[in-house]
Amino acid sequence: MTTEKVTSLDVAKKIGVSQSAVSRVFTPGASVSNAMEDKVLKAANELGYRPNMLARSLNTGKSKMIGLVVSYLDNQFYPDVLESLSSKLQESGYHILIFIASNGTKNFDQVLNEILDYQVDGIIMASVELSSVISKKIDSAGIPVILLNRSLDNMRFSSVTSNNYNGGKQIANFLIKGGHRKISHIAGNEKASTQRDRETGFIDGLKENGVDLFSREIGNFVLDEASSATRKMFSSKNSPDAVFVANDHMAFAVMDVLRMELGLKIPEDVSVVGYDDVKISSWPSYDLTTVRQPINNMVDRTISLLISQLEGNKPAKQIEVEAELIVRNSAKLPRNNFNKRS
C-alpha cells in the first residue's frame, strides 16, 4: 500500500493561495505576513506536508548546509562549540553536517571528498591542522572556509581564535605574583597554532619578570599522554611548584595524577592552571584556575565571517577575541588579593 506524497501545490489549493506563497513560508528569511504563515502552516500540518529541502537546493544552487570538521570531540570544549554553532546557524537558516578528521593528509583527503559530495555551502574547521596540499585543494573547491580555534601563518583562510598569546602571558604573570619560581609547562600538539601562541606568550611573560621556564613536557592534548608527562615532570625531588597545562582537558589528567598517584596537594604543594574554561573546570573536584575562551563570542564571529563570505568574495580576515583569566582554587593567589571568578 502506498501513500501519495503531499506537495506544496496541494497545500496551496487547500487554502486558495499560490504555490510561491507556500514556498516563501518554508524559506528562511523570506518576506511573509504572520497571518499567511499561520494559515499555510496549519494547512501543511493537516495534510502532513514537509518541504523537500534537497530538491530546493537543486533549484537554488544552495544546500543551506555547513560542513563542520573536527579532529576529536573528547575535549569538552568542542561539544560546547558544536552546540553553540548548531543553534546559531539554525537561526540563520543553515544546518550542520559533522565530519571527524584526524590530522593526517590521507584521512583528510577522504573527508574533504565527502564534504564536497554533500554540496555544502561553506566549511568550518575546528582545531584542524591544514597542510599546504590540503589548503590548495580547498581553495580549488571555491567554498568559503573559516578556521575556528586555529590559524594559519599564511592567512589564506579566515580564522577566529582567542588571544592565545595574551592568555599565556596572563598565566605567567599570575603565577609569578603568586610567589612561584619553579614554573613548568605541559604542552599540547606542537603543530597547533593555539599551542604555539599560548606557550610563546607564557614564556615571554616569564622572561619579562626575570624567570626562566623550569621544565617542559608534551601532552599532545591527549589525556594519557598528559598523565605520562606529569609523572615524568615530577619524577625527581626538585619538581615544579606550578604548572601551566595547555588546555583544561589535559589539566584534569594532570591534577588526578598529582593528587591520586603522587599524593601532592593542590595548590599547597603545586599550583595548576589550564586553558579553555570548559564546564568541568568549575566543578568542586577540580575548581581549576584557567583562561576562559569566550565560546559564544567566537562562534558569533565565526558565523558572521562565514555568512559575509557566502554573500560575496570577501578577503580572508583573522580575528582574535580577548580571553579572560578565571581565578579559582587550583593555584595560589597573588598576595594582592586577586578577585576570583567562577
| Model pLDDT, residue 56 | 56
| Model pLDDT, residue 19 | 85
Q: Reduce the DSSP state of residue 327 to 3 states and report it.
A: coil
- How far apart CA 239 and CA 233 sit, in angstroms, is 7
| Model pLDDT, residue 117 | 77
- Residues of the chain scoring pLDDT < 70: 1-4, 28-29, 52-63, 102-109, 129-135, 154, 313, 336-342
Neighbours of 210 (CB within 10 A): 8
With CA atoms as reference, report the closest residue to 306 among 180, 189, 159: 159
| Strand partners for 326 | 290
- How far apart CA 2 and CA 109 sit, in angstroms, is 42
| Model pLDDT, residue 340 | 56
* Residue bearing cell 604555539: 196
Neighbours of 309 (CB within 10 A): 20
Cα 273 to chain centroid, rounded: 20
Helices 223-233 and 248-256 pack at an angle, to 10 degrees, of 50
| Model pLDDT, residue 285 | 96
- Grid coordinates in use for 289? 584556575
With CA atoms as reference, report the closest residue to 153 among 139, 167, 168, 135: 135
Tell me: cis bond preceding 267? Omega within 30 of 0 counts. Answer: yes
pLDDT in tens, 317-338: 899 999 999 999 999 998 765 5
- How far apart CA 282 and CA 78 sit, in angstroms, is 17
Q: Reduce the DSSP state of residue 82 to 3 states and report it.
A: helix
| Strand partners for 174 | none
| HEC readout, 230-259 | HHHHCCCCCCCCEEEECCHHHHHHHHHHHH
Domains and CATH numbers, the chain: 8-51 (1.10.260.40), 63-162+295-321 (3.40.50.2300), 164-294 (3.40.50.2300)
Neighbours of 183 (CB within 10 A): 26
Contact predicate 178/156, CB 8 Å: no
Q: Reduce the DSSP state of residue 266 to 3 states and report it.
A: coil
- How far apart CA 318 and CA 159 sit, in angstroms, is 5
* Residue bearing cell 598528559: 226
pLDDT in tens, 110-126: 777 778 777 888 889 88
With CA atoms as reference, report the closest residue to 152 among 168, 128, 186: 128
Cβ-proximal residues to 68 (8 Å cutoff; 6+ apart), any chain: 82, 85, 96, 97, 98, 99, 123, 124, 126
| Model pLDDT, residue 278 | 95
β 324-326/289-292 pair status: antiparallel
| Model pLDDT, residue 28 | 65
